[in-house]
Every structure is written in structure tokens, then in C-alpha cells.
Structure 1
Amino acid sequence: RLVIASRSQMAQPGLRVAAMPAHPLQAGPAQLLAIAPARLLSDIAPLLQARQAEGLSARAVDVADIYAHYSDGVTDPLAIRAFLRDAVAQLGTEYLLLVGGDSYDYFDRLGLGSISDVPTTYGRTHAVVNHAPLDHAYADLDDDGQLDLAVGRLPVRTSSELRMLVDKILTPNTSTEHTAVFAAERANAAEGSDYAAEVEALIAALDPAWQAGAQRIYLDDYPTGAAGVAAARNDLRAAINAGRRVVGYYGHGAPTLWSREQLLQAAQLNSLLGNPAGAAPVVTEFGCWGGYFVAPEFNTMSHAWMNAGQRGAVAMFAASGLTEHASDRVMAATLLPALTQPGIRLGDALRQSKQQLQDQAPEFADVIDGLTLFGDPSMTVQ
């Protein structure tokens, strides 16, 4: 049937097509690419401007724009991976900075104010860990074992945290060069472990200047019991607060503590740390769970170290799951020499170390996939 009517008599649709945001690939090259929620884009700008001044092309992308073009607006880490494959090919991207925290409680079902700004991926890293948070999947974009990007995350939840962290990253480090302090778990004969001896071997493999500047805080050198642990903690605090370029821990760990004897707890860090502006170290933790950044109930060691204002760490390497002692040993022996090379960027040190282990010993997935960089991957130690 044919109906003839004037325009004014025609029914008008109640919906209209939403405007599509510009494609995130359109704004030009980005050797350093930051992915952030809209509310944090302005706060990350000073860091990107500083890297541009150093000669890197750098820009930020709203994570919602990625979803709009790669997953029809649905929040999906696979959309981020698809975008990154295009960014590597078309924008020359080498460094990826994920800006914002994450939580496995995406929809705040627990009512704790859970925030998932830039979602991670999850995967198996150990016989008993099937669901570890893995930013590593954004480094190996086609699962061929060849790392395409150097990846880091800033585990912030608020604009204030991000502004303070960016300011800390951009503040020149005035600590004495080639200085480090290494803490180690107490030896355990039943396990056949001698952590202090292994740290000594790690130090001996470093450049002589770093060997000379290395301080030791070994629990073996302190009495067992609360008083001995407190003395070790005070010595570690004094070393950190005096200014060190690198702070390392080697031994047992949990999401919120270092060592079975609780040498250091996440809840203690805010009151313990007093390192001045310009003396924020890079922290390396070779132990379990310190980088489990998706827990909605508590702050992990990585949150506590990174989000302490000008105090605490400027960057941190920590595992997002359970790790084996042998895995920590080989990763530490690979990463520490790389990390202390003059002028190397943090992300490149981790990328090189992971690639070396992937090529030579791919069975160490607990550290190859699970070791996470919290910080700017384009930053240098020295």
C-alpha cells in the first residue's frame, strides 16, 4: 500500500546515531603511548611532554575511544590488544604506559569503591595460579614469544595520586650514583635456601661501581624474633631514607609484606618512608605476589611503594602471582645487570630480560609473564 504524507506528518525516530570519536590511530606517531581513562588524560600530559622534549614521540589515548573502534564500546582487554597491534605497525609504538589501577571486581559488587581504569588480562603462571593479572599480554601481542612492546603501569586511582606520581617521576634523582641496598630473607635449611649467599652472587655480577655502592640488610645478620626483625627494618629504612638509586628485596613475599618474618609491610610504608624529593629509588622485589595489583580489598606492596607522594619508589618490579625460588633467581640474575646499564630505559631492561628467559627457559612463566613494571617504561635509572 502506498501512503503519501507531508514531512511534518511523518513519524520521527526516538533515537539518533551517536557521534563516533576520532580513531585513536589518527593523531600521529607515538613511540611512547599512554592509555588512560578520560578523567586522567590531563594529569598524564606533563609526563608525555617531558618525553617529547627528550626526543620521543608521545601521546595519550582515551581507553573509551579504543573500545568504540575495536569492540563496539564494550570494555574488553582484547580490544586494547587489537589496537596495540595496529599501533606498533602504524605508529611505531615501542613503550606502552597503562595509566590507572585495575580490580578483578569490575562492577564493584563488593561495594568497596572498586576501580578498573585500564583492564589487565588474566592467565596461568603456575601450577596453582590459573588467574594471575598479566599486563605482559600487552607486550606479546600475537603470543609468539617475541615481545613487541615494553610495558609499564601507574597503579593510581585518583587524579591526585597520578599528579604526585608524575611529579616524582619527573623530579631528577639527586641520590649518589651507583648506590643500592639489598634486603634478603633469612636462610632456611629445610628449603635448602640461602638467600643472602644468592644476593651476594647477584651483586658480584654487577658493574664494579654498583658493587662498591651496595649495602646489605640480611636477616641472617640479625637475631631471630621481633627485636631482630625490627632492627633490620630500621636499618633498611635508614638506608632508603638516606637515598639509594635501587632498593632490592629477595625472599618470600605476599601481596602486602616482605619475608615470613614481616620485615616490611605495605601498611607500614607510609609512616616508615622519609626519603626526600629527588631520592625515590627503583625497587625490585624478587618474591611472590607483591605486584598483585587487582585486589579490591587492600593495597599491595606495589601500591604502597608507588603512591607515597614524593617518598617511596619511582618505579617497581614485582610479580603478580606465586613464583618459584628458582624462577626468582634466574630473573634477578638477568634483570639486575640489565637494569644497571648506563642510560637504559626501565621497560627495555625488563623486555630484554624477559626475552632472554623466554628464548632460553620458557618454563619460567611465573616471572616471564608475571613480573610487572609499575612505572614509566621509558624512564632511565641513571
Structure 2
Amino acid sequence: MKLSLTPTIRVFLVTIMLVTVVLQPYSAAHASAASLSGNQTINASLSGPSVQSRELAVMPAKPTPRPTTTAVASPTPTTVKATRTPKQTATSTPSPTLQPTSTVEPIATTTTPEPTVVIEPTLTPAPTTATPAPTAVPVAFATAMPVDPASLQLTSTLNLKVNKTGIYRVTYEMLRDAGLDLAGVAASALTVINRDNMIPIYVYVGNQPESFGPGGFIEFYGEALDTTYTDTNVYTLQVSNTLTSQIPVQDARPDMQLAAPTSYTKTLRVNNQNKFANYAPGTEAWYDTSMSVTTASKSWDFTFQINGLVDAPAALELVVWGVTNWTANPDHHLVVNINGLQVTDQKFDGLVAKNFKIDLSAGVLREGTNTLQLTVPGDLGTQSDTIVLDRYSITYQQAFNAQNGGLSFTSLDDLFTVSNLPGQNVVAYGLRNGGLVRLGNIDVQPVGETFTANFAGTNQSDTFLLATAETLLTPVLEAARLKADLTSPAEYLVISHPDFISGLEPLVQARQAQGLTVSVVDVNDIYAQYSYGVFDAQAIKKYIAYAAQNLGTRYVLLVGGDTYDYRNYLGYNSISFIPSLYVATGPGAKFIAVDPLYADVDGNYVPDLAIGRFPVRTNEELSRLIGKTLAYANKSYSGTAVFASDVIDGAASFKNLSDKLATGIPSDWTVQSIHMDDLGAAAAKTQLLDAMNRGTALITYNGHSSPSAWSSLFTTSDVAALTNAGSPFVAVQWGCWNTYYVDPANDYLVQKFLLSGDNGAAAVLGGTTLIYFGSEEMFGPLLTPRLATPGLSVGQALQDAKAQLGQNDPGLIDVLLGWTLMGDPALIITP
């Protein structure tokens, strides 16, 4: 902004400029918006690692004897927005068994983020003294602006990946080493884009006037994500000749005659992701600890740390789940203590998420280590009581003490004093409704071995991010992906992880020989164009919908395995090559991986395309599965089927349903029935293994199942004993969980059948969830005849059967979405 000066002040300024310092040219984008008043001198204060700073700060004269250091914030990479603090680690595998259930409304779980602040290069501030300053001149906060990517005239791009929320700094040298040398580029040409929004940035140009170069850096406020799939957000640095958004500098010189507040309200959130529960009644499947008792009381202790506590009333928010669901009401009892003092006693009922908000009197919390104790008394007369701790938070009064080099807080006041800073080079920002200002003229003083910063507020209840330059965050730099052509005709669309694309050629040639147009798409190109480079299953769904509507797509094959532990909470380092979508398929199955949802183009929970997956993790597995897929097309044992079943379970006669399904097979087929009710487990197993080994086109099982077994008839360990190399079968499994494929640590039946060798199956159909017997009674007679229809592919048969079921019984989500195909959707059982 321009400064209005009286003639006297102009003469005074000219004299000072000639005698004391030669002021360098500076960019208007970097100028401090300060006003002159009284006897003031102008110092070229240093806002970067070089004396050739482009920022001009107006500092007060020194009528006060108190020694001070004035720090002008040094830039650090940051972005504007606010999200939850990313969660912590976890351990578990999904339960394949049905939990006691009830229908509940999920609770709201919104939280307020506390951004992390970190900093880097050290600056040498200009020494001066401080005096009561005039009121800071407010400036407008810079906000993100929507932008049409097509309007940007881009020459160079680089992705800046962030997984914490806070102020980020990226230096010229970092960019150069990553392959983007911006020496000589005008600061006004630098732009950072996130999700089609131009993000405000602060640019320090370095050792050259006006243009970016050595010693320069860019600061932005980066917002981490907190999704099922990732905590990493992607910002793109671009050189553009059209638009830029600079963060203004607010004069934050303090008036030390005012009194600063001694505390602010802080919320400590503890959200450990230790285990995964697909039955979870809340809004997410990860949780901290499961607590279960029979009749003896048991307690669990959870410690949390508070540093800088100001004793005052506080609050506890506790989110737990009731898991066991007995006829008695209530069937859960929980007693909560903090530091040995009981703060609440709660009874509740059913499979439900409960959010308890508890006021805490002054004196309950302690400085340092505190203990939250949860006790399940087991005194309600039920067989057991299982309660899960999901997460908790403590809201209390916190002193303005920096931790880990910085502090973020939200408050309204005219003066703030932050102590315990490890250095004198302080960077500070104000955040308001997604907008940013950078705070200049902060007063920094040494106090023993640490430093204390004083600065003015912004006249509103804003969030402030304060840190030393040495603790700013640094983004991960990655070359931006070139835009790929994703518009080729694709009757047969293959979406593959890049690791497997080169191995797909034999399958591609085979499908082209059938007359299908084939397109193989790298999933990373889909992320780049449909989710702004962020790892997100919704991007795949959007592209499949586009392909169905514009590219003539009828078949979709996903190539790559998956894991529900996308953020590596369990520490297994399992890889999601192609992520899954998740949906609730029933009261006891709330977070279920469902590939058929990708093929639901119109949103009615009925697939509109034939879809399958190769759940491979290596090229060797891919080669084997393609080999079995092509071998099945040339099999000599067409027209053969086995229908096997489990023992009767109450009203569920698996034998009767199996026999009913067998009637849907053409009369010229050879059909063998293997029923445990008739033969017993041992004899039935022997006959089943013989049928698999001699070459059978279709193997069907009906009964209880899990990810690793068909009741006692067949288990994962039996796959290794199969000798049907060169004669694979298609397995159709009527039961629960038998096609479960997202475990981060274990291979189950579906992987063993498809990937363990040249034996086993070419394709596997079945449930990834809890399947109800009544649902399969309605779905089985629709699917079985179609599987045996000449010329009809497995994927088409499944799609057509679900389409008819969706018309008759649209609420059967367990089979409409939870029943899936692992294999090639274009595979044909009967030529």
C-alpha cells in the first residue's frame, strides 16, 4: 500500500536514507502495511537469509531502555484450510463372524483441527528496540480463489505433497534439486493450486531484485487430509503468466502497555487407530481399545500429557461403542475416572456409538501425566459386556507456551505473548475463515535460554500460527504428472496399477481377438485428472462413470490387490494397488469393500457394468492368473459342475438350496452333488477334492463360510493339495465372507484359489460381507442359469442377475453390492 507522508517527514526520511542505509527496491507484494507516526526511523529489516531482503518493515524508535529483538517472519510452505489432525496407528483384522446387531444412527464426529507449525532456514534479524506502537493497520486476509485450470498459461509444474496441517516452506534450492529451476522467474508468476483453487503464498525472492533465485523461498498454509485412504494432500506449484495470489503482511507490532491473556482454550484429541472393525456402529471403522468382561469388573488405563496447564474448569468428550447386544436393557455399564476421581457413571444398550460430554471441575486435571480410567463392572447380569473406546478429547485452559518450536491457538485479544520459543527468528500467520495474513514486526526477547514473542492481535477471534524459522514444515516434492489421454474407446476397460501394465499384453490381445476395443489405463493418471493427484477411490468411480457414458465401456477389470489399512496404522506396510469403495451392507457389516459399487453408474446400488478384479500383488501372480484365465477358455471339460453343501442349520437347509440351484443347469451338463448331510465331512471332502483335480468347469458351494474356509469341507490349507494345473475351475461360493480380499496381513481363500500356483481357480465369485440366507435364496436362482448360458460371460451373468434382483428386491445390498467377482469379467464358462 502507499504511505501518506507530510513534508517534514519526507525530509526526515531522505536524510535517514542518505546517512544510514540505502533501501533496496522491493516488491509491493512483500511490503509491510504499516503507517508512520511520530519520531520513527525506517530500517531495512531482514525477512530472509540474505541482507538483500525485499521486505520493508517500519519499526518504532527506541524511547524504551528494554533490549529487544524484532523478528520479521521468514517464509515457510503453507496453505489455507483446516482439517482434523491425522490419526494414529492401529492393529487388527476384520471379524468374519456376525456380531450381535441393532440398527443405530451414526453419531456426528466433526472436530476442529490444530495446525502444526514448523520452520527451516535461520534468519539474521535487525537489532532494534521496541516501544508502544500505534494500532496495527488491518489488511485483508488472502483467501483461496477458484480458478479454471484451462485459463492458466503454464510452463513448469511441481507437486508439493503435505501430510500435516500448518505453515510450509519450500526453498529455491529444494525446487532446483527436484528438477524445477526457477532462477530469474518473477515472484508474481509463481502460483500454487489445490483442487482448482489458487492458494495464497508468500514469496521471498532471495538475493536478486524482484525475481526468484538462490536464497529465495515460498511459504504456504498446507492442509493435510483425513480420509479413509490418505492423509496426503497435493498442491501444485506452477509458473503462470496469468494469475497469482500473495499473502499480505499485517503490522503486528505490540503495544506493551496492554495486558496479554494468560491462557487460551485448547483441545487435546486422542484418536489412536489400533484396530479395525467392519461392524463399527460409528462413522469410522478404526478404534483404540476393545474392553470386554463377563462378570468380574476390569479397568483399563489411558494416559495423556498436558504441558502448560492453567487450572480451571475443563471438559472430557468420550466416544465409545457398545458391541454386545443382549436382550437385557441396558446391557452396557461404564464408569469413568480421571486421576482417581469418578467423573461419570453411564449405562446404555445395544450395538451403538455413544458420545459422552462431561464437565470437569478445576483441579481434576494435572500438569504433566494424567490418567483416564475406564471400568466395565460386568454387573448387569448378561453373559458379557463388550465396550470399545473409539476416541476421546480433553478441553482445558493452556498457557501460551510454545511446544516443539511453535504454537497454534484461536483467541481474540489486542496483545499476545508466547514464551518458550527455541529461537529468535519467529514466523507468524493469522488464519480466518480460510484466509491468511502474515504478521510482521513481532517483538522477540530472550528469556534465559528461550525466547518470548509479543505481537498484536487482528481484532477478531482468529487462529494464530507461530513458530521459529527452524521448525517450519517441508513438503515432499514430486514431478507433476503429464496429462494422459483417457478418452480412447474402451468396451473392455482395464484400470491397473503401473507395476502390472507391462504384464497385461497377453490378456489384452485375447480380448482384442474377441472383437473388443481395449484400453489399459494407469490408475495414477486417473488420480491426476479426477482427484487432483490425491489417492482416492472416488476418482476411479468418476472415471468409470465417464467411460460408461462416453467410451462404450461394458467390462471393467481392476488389476491390483487391496488392503483396508490404507494409512499403515498396523505397520504391515501392505499396499493398496487399486483401492476399494466401502459401504454398509447390513446391521452387522458397516464398512465393507465392494467393487460392484464402481460399476453403479446411476446410483441405485445395482451395477450397470460387468466388473471384476485381479487381486494380484506381484507380476508373477499376474502371469499365473492370466495363464489360468486363458487356459480356461480352451478347457476340454465344459458342461461339468459340482454342487456341494454344508450341513443343515436350523431352518437353513443348504442341501435343499444347492439342489434347487442345480436345477438351473442345462440338462446336457454332467452335475455331481456332494452334500455333507448325506456323506459326512470326510467323504464329502474327498469327493470335492477329486472333482476339483480332474477338471470341472463350475464348482459351487452352499453353506457357512469365512474368509478362510467352507465350513469344515474345505480350507485355505487344502488349496496347496490341488493338482489341477492346466485345468482351472470357476468357484461360486454361497455363504459369508468367502471372497474377502482386503486383509493387510493374510491371504485367504480367494487369493489361494487364484494366485498360489497354476492349480486352483480361474475366477472366484462370492461375498465380501455377511450374506443372509434369504438373500441368496432369491439371488441364486437368478444367477446360476445365466452362468451356464452359452456365450454369456461371468461378468455379464452377474450383472444381469443383479439387475433383475434390483427390480424385484432393491434392498438386498448384501448381494447386490457385497457379492463380487474376482477374475476377468469377460471370462465365458460355456462357449
Instruction: Give TM-score, length-normalised by structure 1.
Output: 0.91
Which residue matches 1:186?
647
Give the superposition deviation at 1:297.
2.7
Q: 1:157 aligns with which of 612, 617, 628?
A: 617
Matched to 2:642, the amino acid is V
| Structure 1 residue runs without a partner (length 5+) | 224-228
SS of residue matched to 1:254 = coil
Give the superposition deviation at 1:14.
6.8
Matched, 1:256 2:704: no
Higher strand share: 2
Q: 1:334 to 1:151 in 2, by over 3 A?
A: same
SS of residue matched to 2:820 = strand
Which residue matches 2:212?
11
Q: Which has the higher contact order (CA 8 A, sep 6+)?
A: 1
Which residue matches 1:96?
556
SS of residue matched to 1:311 = coil
Q: 2:656 aligns with which of 184, 197, 200?
A: 197
Matched, 1:329 2:789: no
Matched to 2:741, the amino acid is F
Alpha-carbon displacement from aligned partner over 1:73-121 (angstroms, at most 9, x marks no partner) = 1111111111112111221111110101110011333232412110011
Matched to 1:202, the amino acid is L
Count of matched residue pairs: 368
Which residue matches 1:297?
745
Which residue matches 1:236?
688
Identical pairs, percent: 37
Alpha-carbon displacement from aligned partner over 1:139-158 (angstroms, at most 9, x marks no partner) = 10231345321110011111
Matched, 1:220 2:677: yes
The answer to whether the 8 A contact 2:559-2:614 is kept is yes
SS of residue matched to 2:565 = coil
The answer to whether the 8 A contact 2:597-2:605 is kept is no
Q: 2:725 aligns with which of 264, 268, 276?
A: 276
* Structure ID, larger Rg: 2
SS of residue matched to 1:33 = strand
| Structure 2 residue runs without a partner (length 5+) | 1-23, 28-182, 186-207, 219-236, 239-478
Q: 1:61 to 1:7 in 2, by over 3 A?
A: closer
Alpha-carbon displacement from aligned partner over 1:14-63 (angstroms, at most 9, x marks no partner) = 7964443233424x211111111111111122211210111000121111
RMSD between aligned residues? 2.1
For 1:254 and 1:181, the matched residues in 2 are separated by 20
Which residues of 2 match residues 1-382 of structure 1 at below 5 A? 9=208, 10-12=211-213, 17=238, 18-26=479-487, 28-171=488-631, 172-188=633-649, 191-210=650-669, 213-223=670-680, 229-259=681-711, 262-270=712-720, 272-277=721-726, 279-382=727-830
SS of residue matched to 1:215 = strand
Q: 1:46 to 1:220 in 2, by over 3 A?
A: same
For 2:703 and 2:579, the matched residues in 1 are separated by 29
For 2:702 and 2:759, the matched residues in 1 are separated by 22
For 1:2 and 1:98, the matched residues in 2 are separated by 57
Give the superposition deviation at 1:3.
6.5
The answer to whether the 8 A contact 1:22-1:65 is kept is yes
Instruction: Give TM-score, length-normalised by structure 2.
Output: 0.43
For 2:25 and 2:543, the matched residues in 1 are separated by 48
The answer to whether the 8 A contact 1:38-1:63 is kept is yes
The answer to whether the 8 A contact 1:81-1:138 is kept is yes
Q: 1:303 to 1:150 in 2, by over 3 A?
A: same
For 2:480 and 2:800, the matched residues in 1 are separated by 42
Which residue matches 2:427?
none
The answer to whether the 8 A contact 2:606-2:816 is kept is no
Matched to 2:544, the amino acid is L
Higher helix share: 1
Alpha-carbon displacement from aligned partner over 1:189-233 (angstroms, at most 9, x marks no partner) = xx21222122112112321113xx01111101224xxxxx23221
For 2:645 and 2:654, the matched residues in 1 are separated by 6
Matched to 2:698, the amino acid is V
For 1:85 and 1:296, the matched residues in 2 are separated by 29
Give the superposition deviation at 1:265.
0.7
For 2:481 and 2:823, the matched residues in 1 are separated by 32
Give the superposition deviation at 1:7.
5.6
